[in-house]
Amino acid sequence: KFPVIVKPLGFEGSEGMVNKSFAETSESALERVDFLHENLKSDALVEEFIEGREFYSGVLGNDRLTVLPLREMFFKNFPDDRAKFATFKAKWDPEFRNKWGITNSFSAPLPDGVEKKIAKISRTAYRALGLTGFGRLDLRLTSDNEIYVLEVNPNPSLQRDDEVAFAAQRLNIKYTQLIERIVQSGLQIGSRFTQ
């Protein structure tokens, strides 16, 4: 179903994601697939583009899970006629982000029940994929309040100035405590294999 997003498979941090990754026709999607094959030597993933707000939901733990406060990518000055999604420049280019008012922060208010529903979906996806320690889901919320999981990152960035660390801080989990919790989760899983 068009429009679609064409992503390079196996790349991280939106590498290879540009405005042309958004394709409204099969011809433009195939052009992007060919580009990824030839220039990035990558397979391609083509998925339906979900119009809506973009969220990042961090999850901590093994058995008892903590869903962290939601983070959101905002496109404040972005043209209405362009698709809003996390290209490489939208994530990592300060000048581009500043020009278009792209920021990441805690989510704007959500309709009643949506945050709980996102937390439940986050725990369910995390468990279904067998994640342990920590992970982060990239989600979209449509104008009809439908929630879509775009992808699940089993090893997202743990930098002090990135989504998981910021969200943990909102729960008064200091950075060193966050790292310690993740290490302890790993040790717990490791001990299950040595018993």
For the chain, give the percent of residues with pLDDT over 90.
87
User: What confidence score (pLDDT) does residue 11 get?
Assistant: 86
**Residue 65 pLDDT class (50, 70, 90 cuts):** very high
Comparing 14-18, 42-46, 189-193, the range with the smallest average pLDDT is 189-193
Provide mean pLDDT across the span 173-177.
97
User: What confidence score (pLDDT) does residue 195 get?
Assistant: 63
Provide mean pLDDT across the span 139-158.
94
Contacts of 78 (CB under 8 A, 6+ apart): 84, 100, 101, 102
34 vs 13, which has greater pLDDT? 34
In the predicted model, is pLDDT for residue 161 greater than 80? yes
User: What confidence score (pLDDT) does residue 13 get?
Assistant: 83
- Tens of pLDDT, residue by residue over 90-131, are 999 999 999 999 999 999 999 999 999 999 999 999 999 999
Query: How are beta strands 53-61 and 71-75 bridged, if at all?
Result: antiparallel
Q: What does the buried/exposed string (b/e) look like for 40-53 if buried means 16 or more CB atoms within 10 Å of the residue's CB?
A: eebebbeeebbebb
First to last CA, the chain: 49
User: What confidence score (pLDDT) does residue 18 get?
Assistant: 95
User: What confidence score (pLDDT) does residue 155 get?
Assistant: 86
CB contact at 8 A, 147 and 140: yes
In the predicted model, is pLDDT for residue 28 greater than 90? yes
User: What confidence score (pLDDT) does residue 12 get?
Assistant: 84
User: What confidence score (pLDDT) does residue 129 get?
Assistant: 96
For residues 160 and 142, give the distance between their C-alpha atoms in angstroms, rounded to a whole number: 30
Provide mean pLDDT across the span 34-63.
96
